[in-house]
Amino acid sequence: MKKLISFVLFFTLLLAGQNGMSAATNKYTVKKGDTYYKIASQYGISVTELMAVNQAKNSLIYPGQTLTIPSQSISNAEKELLARLVEAEAKGEPYAGKVAVATVVLNRVDSPLFPNTVREVIYQAEQFTPVTNGQINQPAGSESIRAVNEALAFRGQGNGSLYFYNPKKTTNQWLRSKQVTVVIGNHVFAK
């Protein structure tokens, strides 16, 4: 019976790890000047998730405090792919626009209307021009990488934008009919 219980426990943990639900294993010692946002950005996780794992009731942290760092919600390969999309879609746009583009992809991952992974969302047919024209294959700049980390840190805290477009470049009436959440630079964000 013990072998059966051990096997079931091992199998359950193995499956949880494969589904991205593995337990947090990293620890972080808070330094002077740290905030949940800075730590979340450093690890590519959401502030909300970081605070929840550490059962924080407010945003106060203290030097010397040990925090548990949850597993990344997306892989490094997906972060790199997302940064390349941000670079291609928002080159020349303000930094806030780059964060918003990354946020749209993360919102889609979290939405039941779209696929469940960053890769699937980005490569969903006819969604992002850089996939069609090959610009997705160009390397991301440091600002796009930073924008992805910021979007991950604030994941789930935005306006819920699922779409963006440049009104000078699209005549798609369906897209234009969506509720506008914010306008940043040349992009209109909507849900």
Statement: residue 5 has pLDDT above 50: no
Statement: residue 6 has pLDDT above 70: no
Which tens digits make up the pLDDT trace of 66-110? 999 988 778 889 999 999 999 999 999 999 999 999 999 999 998
Statement: residue 161 has pLDDT above 90: yes
Q: How confident is the model at residue 25 (pLDDT cuts 50, 70, 90)?
A: low
Residue 24, pLDDT score = 46
Domain with CATH 3.10.350.10 in the chain: 2-69
In the CATH hierarchy, which fold is given to the domain comprising 2-69? Membrane-bound Lytic Murein Transglycosylase D; Chain A (3.10.350)
How much of the chain is helix, strand and coil, in % rounded to 5? Answer: 50, 10, 40
Domain with CATH 1.10.10.2520 in the chain: 76-190
Residue 73, pLDDT score = 75
Query: Which residues have a Cβ under 8 Å from the Cβ of 162 and sit 6 or more positions away?
Result: 104, 107, 108, 111, 113, 114, 178, 190, 191
Specify the CATH class of 76-190 in words.
Answer: mainly alpha
Residue 10, pLDDT score = 35
Residue 159, pLDDT score = 78
Total-model pTM: 0.74
Q: Which residue has the tokens 């997306």?
A: 74
